[in-house]
């Protein structure tokens, strides 16, 4: 990678260089071919754009999990440097640029921006809203994503009395057997064409879907489910990121398996809830039936019984305990229901549903344990009113941002 000393530029020229390189990187598809070719003749520009692209790729993968808007934070950082509000970081930035090269400096900036709390006027930002489509989308592997309306028009999906389900035109003539309790089977499984499809649910939405075997799935906000049009073979596998409630069609010969990261939840026929969002512990809550969980770090399967919740942490540690399952599956009924839960967990749920920013003036507030109940179909203002009525906080909502402060003693 190029060392910035080779550029022989002062601090202002470095800022300008970075701006222009970012502009080339983000507007590449809009630039005329000749203009882009001329800019890229310079070795330094090529290095700049390559380094920026790599840094942004790494940060994007990490920050998507943390719900940060990298471009917004970058602009805020630059504005603060220009206003002199971050002189100390500006000096560090220029020193690193001059001594260790462009990439080291950019990585330092993105490291600072990547922290949940960074040292600036935004250090109280705890949860960030994200730009998104408000539509549930459907996608066949290898094809572009479609809205439900487009998927229906393309005869990829249809709505039934039980919920949405995929159509199966490619296998319309295949003979199937289904008695309402058993898996869909084909007499000649080898002749069945199957493809992986994906349903993505944005923040603020939920969705109900029926798989090929009759298993019914409720998908919570910010959730993605990947599944085949047909379950072929000895197992019924689906992949999940987010939260879903499964009412699995019983079939003792074909176990149903939910894959999430490095965890497999194996069932035969049961009702259970799986929750796995990025950077959060995983929860598996069993309502009825039996479940076995296998992880890359576990020596043997972990068995879960009805009314138990298994909490799995990324380091392999886990906790299995009896719970009130209603607190884990209330979202399925359109409710927020928290019993003896810390404020940070409540914020994650409200933020994910309403897609709003949350600012916390005092991080100690996050440890408050609360009992909180609210209808998810109500707007954010009603949720704030009920949260404020608990008597612990002063809450302000403006510009899509909820600010929580400790209530002063009278």
Angle, CA of 314, 109 and 24, to the nearest 5°: 110
pLDDT of amino acid 88 = 39
Q: Give the pLDDT mean for 259-275.
A: 94
Predicted confidence (pLDDT) at residue 55 exceeds the cutoff of 90? no
340 vs 299 pLDDT, higher one: 340
> 90-139, pLDDT tens digit by residue?
443 333 344 344 444 444 444 444 433 333 345 678 999 999 989 999 99
pLDDT over 70 (residue 171): no
Any idea what the Cα angle at residue 96 is, between residues 92 and 97, rounded to 5°?
115
CB atoms inside a 10 Å sphere around CB 323: 17
Lowest mean pLDDT among 71-85, 150-164, 177-191, 257-271: 177-191
Task: Tokens for 44, please give them.
Answer: 């330094």
Tell the burial category of 20 from Cβ atoms under 10 Å away from its Cβ (0-12, 13-18, 19+).
Answer: middle
Q: What residues have CB less than 8 Å from 288, skipping those under 6 apart? A: 270, 271, 272, 306
Query: How far is it, in rounded angstroms, from Cα 51 to Cα 101?
Result: 11
Contact 3, 101 (CB under 8 A): yes
Q: Which residues pair with 319 in a beta bridge?
A: 311
Q: Tell me if 51 sits within 8 A of 107, measured CB to CB.
A: no
CA distances from 120 to 76, 81, 87, 88, 403 (A): 10, 11, 11, 11, 16
The reply to whether 334-406 shares the fold of 137-328 is no
pLDDT at 34: 57
Residue 224 in tokens: 């993605």
| Cβ atoms 201, 211 nearer than 8 A | no
Count of other CB atoms within 10 angstroms of residue 174: 16
Q: Which residues on adjacent β-strands are paired with residue 241?
A: 224
* pLDDT tens sequence across 303-341: 999 999 999 998 888 999 999 999 999 999 999 999 999
Classify strands 357-360 and 401-406 as parallel, antiparallel or unpaired.
parallel
Phi then psi dihedrals of residue 226, to 5 deg:
-110, 135
* pLDDT value at 361 more than 70: yes
Region 298-303: mean pLDDT is: 87
pLDDT at 391 over 80: yes
Specify the higher pLDDT residue, 87 or 25. 25
Q: Are 186 and 213 in contact (CB under 8 A)?
A: no
Averaged confidence pLDDT in the chain: 76
**Res 225 pLDDT > 90:** yes
Name 95's Cβ contacts closer than 8 Å, sequence gap at least 6.
Answer: none
CATH fold for the domain made of 334-406: Phage tail protein beta-alpha-beta fold (3.55.50)
For 336-365, give one letter per residue: b (16+ CB within 10 A) or e.
Answer: bbbeebebbebbbbbbbbbbbbbbbeeeeb
pLDDT, average across residues 384-408: 94
For 172-188, how does the pLDDT look when each residue is reduced to its tens digit (9 = 90+)?
444 343 333 334 444 44
How far is residue 376's CA from residue 204's CA, in Å, rounded to a whole number?
A: 9
Q: What is the pLDDT of residue 80?
A: 53
Residues 6+ apart with CB under 8 A from 69: 128, 130, 131
Give the pLDDT band (50/70/90) at residue 76: low
Instruction: Report pLDDT for 242.
Output: 97
What's the whole-number mean pLDDT along residues 23-44? Answer: 54
393 vs 175, higher pLDDT = 393
Assigned token pair, 273: 């809830």
Please give the CATH topology (third level) of the domain spanning 137-328. Jelly Rolls (2.60.120)
Strand partners, 284: 274, 310
Per-residue b or e along 229-250, where b marks 16 or more CB atoms closer than 10 Å to that residue's CB? bbbbeeebbbebbbbbbbbbbb
Residue pLDDT, tens place only, 135-170: 999 999 888 999 989 989 988 888 888 778 887 654
Exposed, middle or buried, 88 (CB in 10 Å: 0-12/13-18/19+)? exposed
What pLDDT is attached to residue 166?
Answer: 81
How would residue 41 be classed by pLDDT, with cut points 50, 70 and 90? low
Residue-range domain boundaries for the chain: 4-123, 137-328, 334-406
Whether the model clears a pTM of 0.75, i.e. scores above it, the answer is no
Q: What is the pLDDT of residue 355?
A: 97
Q: Lowest mean pLDDT: which of 6-15, 346-355, 375-384?
A: 6-15
* Overall average pLDDT of the 276-283 stretch: 91
Pick 17 or 7 by higher pLDDT. 17
For residue 63, pLDDT beyond 50: no
Measure CA 252 to chain center: 33
DSSP 399: T
């Amino acid at each position: 990678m190029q060392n910035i000393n080779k550029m022989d530029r002062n601090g202002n020229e470095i800022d300008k260089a970075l701006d222009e390189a970012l502009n080339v990187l983000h507007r590449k598809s809009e630039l005329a071919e000749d203009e882009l070719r001329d800019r890229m003749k310079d070795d330094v520009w090529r290095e700049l754009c390559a380094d920026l692209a790599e840094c942004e790729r790494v940060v994007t993968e990490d920050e998507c999990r943390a719900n940060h808007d990298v471009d917004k934070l970058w602009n805020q950082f630059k504005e603060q440097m220009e206003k002199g509000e971050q002189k100390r970081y500006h000096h560090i930035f220029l020193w690193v640029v001059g001594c260790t090269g462009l990439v080291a400096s950019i990585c330092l900036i993105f490291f600072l921006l990547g922290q949940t709390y960074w040292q600036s006027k935004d250090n109280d930002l705890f949860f960030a809203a994200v730009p998104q489509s408000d539509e549930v989308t459907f996608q066949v592997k290898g094809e572009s994503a479609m809205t439900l309306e487009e998927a229906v028009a393309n005869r990829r999906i249809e709505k039934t009395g039980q919920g949405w389900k995929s159509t199966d035109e490619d296998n319309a003539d295949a003979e199937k057997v289904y008695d309402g309790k058993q898996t869909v089977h084909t007499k000649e499984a080898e002749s069945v064409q199957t493809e992986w499809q994906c349903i993505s649910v944005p923040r603020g939405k939920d969705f109900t879907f029926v798989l090929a075997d009759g298993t019914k799935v409720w998908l919570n906000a910010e959730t993605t489910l990947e599944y085949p049009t047909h379950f072929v073979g000895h197992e019924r596998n689906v992949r999940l990121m987010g939260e879903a409630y499964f009412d699995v069609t019983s079939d003792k010969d074909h176990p149903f398996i939910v894959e999430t990261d490095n965890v497999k939840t194996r069932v035969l026929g049961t009702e259970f809830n799986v929750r796995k969002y990025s950077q959060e512990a995983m929860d598996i809550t069993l309502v009825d039936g039996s479940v076995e969980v296998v992880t890359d770090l576990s020596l043997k399967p972990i068995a879960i019984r009805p009314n138990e919740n298994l909490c799995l942490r990324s380091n392999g540690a886990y906790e299995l305990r009896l719970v009130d399952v209603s607190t884990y599956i209330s979202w399925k009924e359109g409710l927020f229901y928290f019993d003896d839960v810390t404020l940070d967990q409540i914020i994650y749920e409200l933020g994910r549903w309403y897609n709003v920013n949350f600012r916390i003036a005092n991080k100690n507030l996050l440890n408050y344990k609360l009992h909180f109940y609210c209808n998810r179909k109500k707007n954010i203002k009603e949720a704030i009113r009920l949260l404020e009525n608990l008597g612990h906080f002063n809450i302000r909502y403006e510009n899509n941002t909820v600010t929580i402060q400790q209530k002063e003693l009278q």
